[in-house]
Structure 1
Amino acid sequence: MTKKNKELTEEQRENLLTTLKTRFEKNMNRHDGLEWGKVQAKLEGNMEKLWSLNEMEETGGEPDVVRYDETMDEYIFYDCSAESPKGRRSVCFDREALESRKKHKPENNAIDMATAMGIELLTEEQYRELQKLGSFDTKTSSWVQTPGPIRKLGGALFCDRRYDTVFVYHNGADSYYGARGFRGSLKV
C-alpha cells in the first residue's frame, strides 16, 4: 500500500469501474435515486480518487456510494464490506500508539494507512449512518475517528454491531486485534 505511483493502468481502471458499477447496481438501497453514469463521470474526471477507491477495494473494503452531497457536488463512498476490511486489520490506532509499543508491534496503524490510501476513517456518526444500510461488523470491529481529548489521554474509539445494536467502545490506542481494522470514507 505504500505505492508511490498513484495511477492505475487502463485495465485496472476498467476492472475497478466494472466492479464498482456491479456493486452499485446490486445495492440500490444504499443510494436510492442516484445514477451510475453520473458517478462514473465524476470518477473518470478524478484519477487520484479512483486510485484511492482501488486501494479500498484491494484491501477488502468493497467501497460503494452511500450518499450524494448536493451542496458540494460530491459522491460519498464508504467501505461496505460485511466485516472490517481484511487487508486493514491487526493495526493500532495511530503512529504515536505504534511507536509507544515496546513489544509485539503491529505492522501498521489505521491513521497512516488511511492517509496513504487517500481516505479518512469513518466518524462515529458516519459509522452509524452505514449501519442503517445493513448489518456490518457483526464479527469484527472498526476503529473510528477519535476526539482529541480522548486520544490525548491514550485512548481511541472503535465500533461494532452486536445484538442488532451499534456499540461504541474505547481501548488503548496502542491495542490491536486480528478482528479489528478500520473503515474509510472518500468524497468524489
Structure 2
Amino acid sequence: MTEDNKNSNHKKLTLQREELLISLKARFETNMNRHPGLKWEKIQAKLDANSEKLWSLSEMEKTGGEPDVVGYDKEKDEYIFYDCSAESPKGRRSICYDREALESRKKHKPENSAIDMANSIGIEILTEEQYRQLQKLGNFDLKTSSWVETPSDIRKLGGAIFCDRRYDTVFMYHNGADSYYAARGFRGSLRV
C-alpha cells in the first residue's frame, strides 16, 4: 500500500468518526429531555477514550438505531445509550430471537437473530424494564415491535417476548422464538 493510500484510508476513518460524533452531539442537543443535567463534553471525552464503544455506536447508527444518551450510572461512571429511533431499527428487522431459534427453523430461515446481531455490534438487547424506561422518554414503536431480553424459563419452553406501544400503552407479548416479521426488530443499549 502506498503512503497516499494509507493517508487516504485514515482520512476516511477520521471523517466517519467526525460525522458520527456530529450526529450524536446534534441528537443529544435536540433531545435534552432524555438526559437532563448531562453535558456533551464529558460524554465525548469518554467516547474519545474508547474507540471500541464508538465503533458500536457507529453500528447502531448504521442499522438505523439513532442511539442517544438516556442516563448516567454514577457508581460505574458510565453513560448509557439506547436506540432511540421512532420505530424498531430498520437494519435489524425480520430476525428471530436467538441462534437456537434460527437453527431450529427448517424452512424460510431469517438472515439473522436479535441476540447474534446484538453480540456482533457489541451491545445488549433491551430488557423489558429498559424498554419501559425508554417509552417514558417518548412514543416509540407505534408501528413496529422490538424483541426484548427473554427470561430463561420462557426461552426454555421455546418462547420469546417482545414489546411495542399501541393505544398510548406499552404492551409485552410472546411469540415463538423462531418467528420473525418485517416489522419486528430489537433495540439495544451500550454503556460508555
The alignment status of 1:122 with 2:132, answered yes or no, reads: no
The AA in structure 1 aligned to 2:180 is Y
Of 32, 37, 51, 2:36 maps to 32
1:18, 1:126 → 2: CA distance?
26
The alignment status of 1:65 with 2:87, answered yes or no, reads: no
Q: 1:10 offset after TM fit, Å?
A: 1.0
Q: 1:162 offset after TM fit, Å?
A: 0.2
1:68, 1:102 → 2: CA distance?
43
The alignment status of 1:23 with 2:27, answered yes or no, reads: yes
Q: 1:11 offset after TM fit, Å?
A: 1.1
Q: 1:12 offset after TM fit, Å?
A: 1.0
Q: 1:129 offset after TM fit, Å?
A: 0.2
Report the RMSD for the aligned CA atoms in angstroms: 0.7
Residue in structure 1 matched with residue 8 of structure 2 by the alignment = none
Residue in structure 2 matched with residue 132 of structure 1 by the alignment = 136
Matches within 5 A, 1:69-80: 69-80=73-84
Q: 1:9 offset after TM fit, Å?
A: 1.3
Residue in structure 2 matched with residue 4 of structure 1 by the alignment = none
Of 176, 184, 191, 1:187 maps to 191
Using the aligned pairs only, state the percent identity. 78
The alignment status of 1:150 with 2:192, answered yes or no, reads: no
2:156, 2:15 → 1: CA distance?
45
Residue in structure 2 matched with residue 14 of structure 1 by the alignment = 18
Of 91, 111, 125, 2:95 maps to 91
1:12, 1:155 → 2: CA distance?
39
* Runs (5+) with no aligned partner, structure 1: 1-7
Residue in structure 1 matched with residue 7 of structure 2 by the alignment = none
Q: 1:57 offset after TM fit, Å?
A: 0.1
2:178, 2:104 → 1: CA distance?
7
Flag as ranges the 4+ runs of structure 1 deviating above 2 A: none
Larger radius of gyration: 2
Secondary structure of 1:9 counterpart: helix
Secondary structure of 1:151 counterpart: helix
The alignment status of 1:169 with 2:173, answered yes or no, reads: yes
1:71, 1:12 → 2: CA distance?
32
- CA offsets, 1:106-129, max 9 Å, x none? 000000000000000000000000
The alignment status of 1:101 with 2:105, answered yes or no, reads: yes
1:164, 1:45 → 2: CA distance?
40
The alignment covers a number of residue pairs equal to 181
TM normalised by structure 2 equals 0.94
The alignment status of 1:54 with 2:54, answered yes or no, reads: no
